[in-house]
Amino acid sequence: MNNTTAYRGNIFYFNDTASLENLPKHKNDTSNQYVYIEDGILIVKNGKIDGVGSYATYKDKLSDIKVENCGTKLITPGFIDTHQHSTQSSIVAAYGEKLLEWLEDYVFPGERIYADHDCALKDMTFFLDHLLRNGTTTAVSYGPLFYDASDLFFAELNKRNMRFITGNILMDINAPATLKLSTQENYDISKKLIDKWHNKGRLSYCISPRFALATSEAMMELCGELKKAHPDLYIQTHLNENTNEVKEVKKLYPWSKNYLDVYDHFGLITDKTVLGHCIHMLDEELAQIRDSGAIVSWCPISNNFLGSGLFNYERTLKFTDKITLGTDWGGGNSLSMFAVMDDAYKVSMLNNQKLPSMHRWFLATYGAAKTLQIDSKVGNFDKGKEADFIIIDPDASPFLKYRRRGVEDIFELLFILMTLGDEKIINSTYIMGECAYRADK
């Protein structure tokens, strides 16, 4: 089937050579690592990018193709969220506690609803609809603890044809009896899910030990074995999010050199390991992240909401450029990558650092694709890439419509979108060229 559509509008994406090192920091910077076309055309054929350019150069070649006119809306690759809890929608916006108490008082009771099939299906359907409403097309996500709910989550993602990296969250210690499985049960569920879902369609399995306080040494040992048996699996966990958490980890693993060392001891620190938060880091831990190629997921809205601390972007960047952004939905009170990019800026200002607009947008799109090693498939509009993209309508917000008058360049446009944008300006979200969400439908 030859299924071709052209989208006409303003187009923005990063070149495949773009990196945090060579991205322009301001509009007078001549390093040209992005493509911005006013009145451009994006051609999508059979779910993949088939071409991109100015309308003027394409207009005579469009006679047989359906053209969707998006006016002055911005057509750009979908966002990539590298840390989120798909099971925490029911406890977002929970009052008054920091990490360890918040987990006990809100998160663990909330995640129990996933033991029930109907509740699980309702909650995950809402979650995925909301993710698409926010323009996120790919995520690294913690799934449910239980097999049935995890299987349902993979099936729902597969039905929606989303490129997703996820796995059942693992907990075998320090959790309430109703949200704890034995080490063997956790392992057996993981094996079954890997066999059924890993590399099926656009899905990748992620070994997901919750954190060192909820997974026994035996559990982490088994996680290491799974990774050895399937080297292309991802791993995700939490690291150095909260100072009390760091102290408890030291108590539970007195033999460890530092928090990262606990995971490393079991072979869990690899170039496909996504480490959420990484706030209270020792230099030696950052050096180890650099040497292993592990991936940092910075989650500023969650860190602000839970009072966890200020991630230091410039310090981290001195060690590694494998930095990405996550909502940490659950702890983060928004699924919008606009909110994440906005808080990343504010956290940097509190650290007396100016975070360039291009850097933030890169971290939330093509930078994350590169870091996750999926850049040959998604993240920009090079020919042959999977057509996961969003159409942003700044005029959907009365204030953005007002504020964008007089905006002269893409640097300023991105800056005001990140500072003032939210889900309301996502006009539509496309997955493999199919419209998966449209605001006016």
- Asked if residue 426 lies in contact with residue 368, where contact means CB atoms within 8 angstroms, the answer is no
CA separation, residue 249 to residues 177, 179, 212 (Å):
21, 20, 7
Beta strand 34-45 pairing with 4-14: antiparallel
Q: Is 280 in the site for ligand GUN (CB under 6 A)?
A: no
Between CA 151 and CA 339 the distance in angstroms is 30
Which pair of tokens denotes residue 28?
């007078």
For the chain, the distance separating the N- and C-terminal CA atoms, rounded to the nearest angstrom, is 26
User: Which uninterrupted H or E stretch holds 413?
Assistant: helix 410-420
Q: How far is the CB of 146 from ligand GUN (least distance, A)?
A: 16
Closer to Zn ion by CB, 337 or 392: give it. 337
Q: How far is the CB of 241 from Zn ion (least distance, A)?
A: 8
Instruction: Report the 10 Å Cβ neighbour count for 347.
Output: 22
Which residues of this chain interact with Zn ion, rule CB under 5 A?
276, 328
Between CA 32 and CA 150 the distance in angstroms is 43
- Asked if residue 137 lies in contact with residue 378, where contact means CB atoms within 8 angstroms, the answer is yes
Q: How far is the CB of 73 from ligand GUN (least distance, A)?
A: 34
- Interface residue with ligand GUN among 73, 163, 210, 370 (CB under 6 A) is 210
User: What would the x/- binding string for ligand GUN be over residues 57 to 96, using CB under 6 A?
Assistant: ----------------------------x-----------
Q: Is 238 in the site for ligand GUN (CB under 6 A)?
A: yes
Three-state secondary structure call for residue 265: helix
Q: How far is the CB of 301 from ligand GUN (least distance, A)?
A: 11
Which partner, Zn ion, ligand GUN, none, binds residue 211 by CB below 5 to 8 Å per kind?
ligand GUN
Binding part of the chain for ligand GUN, among 15-23, 26-34, 227-235, 324-332 by CB under 6 A, reads 324-332
Q: How far is the CB of 263 from Zn ion (least distance, A)?
A: 15
Which pair of tokens denotes residue 293?
């190629």
User: What would the x/- binding string for ligand GUN be over residues 102 to 141, using CB under 6 A?
Assistant: -x---x----------------------------------
Residue at shortest CB range from ligand GUN: 331
Q: Is 211 in the site for ligand GUN (CB under 6 A)?
A: yes
Three-state secondary structure call for residue 40: strand
Q: Which amino acid is at 45?
A: K
Q: Is 330 in the site for ligand GUN (CB under 6 A)?
A: yes
Q: What is the DSSP string of 136-158?
A: EEEEEEEE-SSHHHHHHHHHHHH
Closer to ligand GUN by CB, 144 or 331: give it. 331
Residue list 339-398, contact with ligand GUN (CB under 6 A) = none
Q: How far is the CB of 7 from ligand GUN (least distance, A)?
A: 37
Between CA 279 and CA 259 the distance in angstroms is 12
Which letter does DSSP use for residue 407 in this model?
Answer: -
Closer to ligand GUN by CB, 10 or 334: give it. 334
Contact residues for ligand GUN, defined by CB under 6 A? 85, 99, 103, 107, 210-211, 238, 241, 302, 328, 330-331
